[in-house]
């Protein structure tokens, strides 16, 4: 970047001009205007903090606290540090709608603007629209100055930071709230920095989140990025935290083998029949049913040469594909001399006649956030080729859980991933791991594990749970098998 003359205006600051805001040279003389704004920043922060402590805001602050932190146990409350409290108060002051959709800082302006000095008034005008946003480091100008570009709302900003040269690498991404401080900007409290190569993953997460909010507020008129950042700015921080935890390696993808139908099925049956020929009939039948259950669970997700190399699950996404899969299943029924009911496969694929699975619109969701999770569950599971019945079971599981526990959260992706993981466990889909879903939803595997336990305990879920699973326990001969084992053990 070309050095600017001290008496030339700098264009950094959302298109507005400030003198020398990102001049890389040290200031050798006293700049009284800059000193005046530095004093105004401290004074205005103190006044806002004092104003936010007004008892009139206690009820709103209590609701905001629960939204921000969730339902915390007493022991967890005691563990909250000063930094967490300050970050909550910052968000409460700048983003939380307290009265008639106005924030604390907007209400403060209504009440006290005329009593502020000129510098404080100039700062307050800008602080009202200060949101947590996504920035890109365009240039490191000096050890204490960097140029940031707002990737969501546009505009370039000169940031002053004591360790700018060490912490802000060119092209890195920054999620923070910038506060005007005269001819430059400061980080309000916190700046989350991740490498620039994370842009594609992060912007995909942000756009998905933005679209959920936009659909939710479509009936209220125009919805823009500033509104989104007021509502979902916290989500950006959560996304960065979760994305940072997944930077250790690439996403784990399901490892699927290549098994087909037709002749392979006949060969498999012959091999299995030979293996069980000398066993007690009930035991042999039980083992065969267990085997076929596992075999066809894999089969629906494996490329099939008789389906143009696609998997049965993928084929079933279209009416023509469902017809081809049905023809293949009928061919298997004619060729196979075995007792396994292929209607169980049809049920898993959602092509059993008369079957209808519930959709998001079939439920009355208590909160918009619960519906957003349901929509994300439906979209993400459809992308991965889950059957309509499996998706319907996932929606039912999520609905039942929300009715029982009324969870509070900020990021829909965490619970959507947890519900998908719960269904995958019930469907015995071993390839769908917490690590895989963490990559798919760009979240931390640890959050899935913790929430998964909550769901299972709240709904008392068991293996082959008829409420949420398409799997049926292959129980042929269990009683006889138990008696037989009792005799030989």
CATH code for position 376? 1.10.472.10
pLDDT tier for residue 290 given thresholds of 50, 70 and 90: low
Distance, in Å, from the CA atom of 10 to the CA atom of 365, rounded to the nearest integer, reads 51
Distance, in Å, from the CA atom of 364 to the CA atom of 360, rounded to the nearest integer, reads 9
pLDDT tier for residue 264 given thresholds of 50, 70 and 90: very low
Residues paired with 145 in a beta bridge: 142, 160
pLDDT at residue 234 is higher than 80: yes
What is the pLDDT at residue 256? Answer: 21
* C-beta of residue 88 within 8 angstroms of C-beta of residue 254: no
Query: Of 66, 98, 127, which closes a domain?
Result: 127
**Do 143 and 226 reside in the same domain of the chain?**
yes
Q: Is residue 237 part of a domain?
A: yes
* C-beta of residue 17 within 8 angstroms of C-beta of residue 10: yes
> What domain range is 299 assigned to?
263-349
Distance, in Å, from the CA atom of 84 to the CA atom of 20, rounded to the nearest integer, reads 35
pLDDT in tens, 188-227: 988 999 888 888 888 888 888 888 888 777 666 778 898 8
**Do 194 and 268 reside in the same domain of the chain?**
no
pLDDT tier for residue 96 given thresholds of 50, 70 and 90: very high
**Do 381 and 404 reside in the same domain of the chain?**
yes
To the question of pTM greater than 0.75 for the whole model, the response is no
What is the pLDDT at residue 299? Answer: 83
**Do 281 and 372 reside in the same domain of the chain?**
no
In the chain, % of residues over pLDDT 70: 74
Structurally, how many domains does the chain consist of?
A: 4
* C-beta of residue 52 within 8 angstroms of C-beta of residue 104: yes
Q: Is residue 467 part of a domain?
A: no
**Do 196 and 226 reside in the same domain of the chain?**
yes
Q: Is residue 310 part of a domain?
A: yes
What is the pLDDT at residue 211? Answer: 83
Three-state SS for 489? Answer: coil
pLDDT at residue 11 is higher than 50: no
Query: Which segments within 143-196 are labelled E, that is strand?
Result: 145-150, 156-160, 173-180, 185-194
Q: Of residues 23 and 322, which shows the higher confidence score?
A: 322
Q: Is residue 36 part of a domain?
A: yes
Distance, in Å, from the CA atom of 299 to the CA atom of 313, rounded to the nearest integer, reads 9
Cβ-proximal residues to 476 (8 Å cutoff; 6+ apart), any chain: 282, 285, 286, 289
Q: Domain holding 212: CATH number? A: 2.40.50
**Do 268 and 312 reside in the same domain of the chain?**
yes
């Amino acid at each position: 970047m070309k050095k600017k003359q001290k008496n030339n205006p700098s264009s950094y600051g959302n298109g507005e001009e400030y003198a020398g805001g990102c001049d890389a040279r040290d200031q050798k003389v006293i700049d009284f205007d800059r000193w005046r704004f530095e004093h105004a920043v401290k004074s205005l922060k103190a006044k806002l903090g004092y104003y936010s402590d007004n008892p009139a805001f206690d009820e709103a602050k209590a609701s905001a606290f629960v939204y921000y932190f969730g339902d915390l146990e007493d022991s967890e409350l005691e563990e909250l540090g000063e930094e967490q409290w300050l970050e909550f108060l910052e968000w409460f002051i700048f983003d939380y709608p307290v009265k008639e959709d106005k924030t604390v800082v907007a209400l403060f302006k209504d009440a006290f603007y005329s009593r502020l000095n000129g510098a404080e008034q100039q700062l307050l005008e800008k602080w009202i629209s200060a949101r947590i946003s996504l920035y890109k480091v365009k240039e490191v100008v000096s050890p204490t100055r960097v140029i940031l570009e707002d990737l969501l709302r546009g505009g370039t900003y000169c940031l002053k930071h004591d360790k700018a040269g060490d912490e802000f690498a060119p092209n890195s991404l920054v999620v923070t709230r910038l506060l005007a401080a005269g001819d430059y900007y400061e980080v309000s409290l916190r700046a989350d920095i991740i490498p620039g190569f994370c842009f594609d993953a992060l912007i995909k997460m942000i756009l998905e989140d933005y679209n959920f909010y936009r659909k939710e507020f479509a009936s209220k008129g125009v919805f823009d990025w500033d509104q989104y950042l007021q509502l979902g700015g916290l989500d950006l921080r959560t996304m960065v935290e979760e994305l940072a935890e997944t930077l250790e390696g690439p996403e784990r993808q399901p490892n699927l083998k290549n098994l087909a139908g037709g002749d392979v099925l006949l060969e498999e049956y012959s091999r299995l029949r030979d293996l069980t020929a000398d066993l007690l009939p009930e035991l042999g039948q039980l083992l065969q049913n267990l085997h076929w259950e596992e075999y066809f669970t894999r089969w629906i997700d494996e490329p099939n040469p008789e389906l143009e190399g696609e998997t049965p699950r993928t084929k079933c996404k279209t009416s023509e594909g469902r017809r081809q899969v049905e023809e293949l299943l009928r061919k298997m029924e004619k060729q196979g001399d075995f007792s396994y009911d292929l209607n169980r496969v049809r049920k898993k694929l959602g092509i059993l006649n008369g079957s209808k699975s519930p959709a998001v619109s079939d439920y009355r969701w208590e909160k918009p956030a619960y519906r957003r999770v349901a929509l994300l569950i439906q979209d993400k599971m459809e992308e991965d080729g889950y059957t309509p019945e499996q998706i319907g079971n996932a929606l039912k599981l999520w609905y039942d859980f929300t009715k029982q526990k009324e969870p509070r959260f900020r990021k829909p992706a965490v619970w959507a991933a947890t519900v998908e993981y719960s269904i995958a466990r019930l469907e015995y889909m071993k390839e769908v791991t917490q690590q895989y879903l963490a990559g798919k939803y760009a979240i931390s595997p640890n959050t899935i594990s913790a929430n998964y336990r909550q769901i299972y305990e709240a709904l008392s879920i068991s293996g082959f749970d008829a409420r949420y699973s398409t799997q049926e326990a292959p129980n042929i001969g269990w009683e006889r098998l138990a008696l037989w084992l009792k005799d030989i053990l």
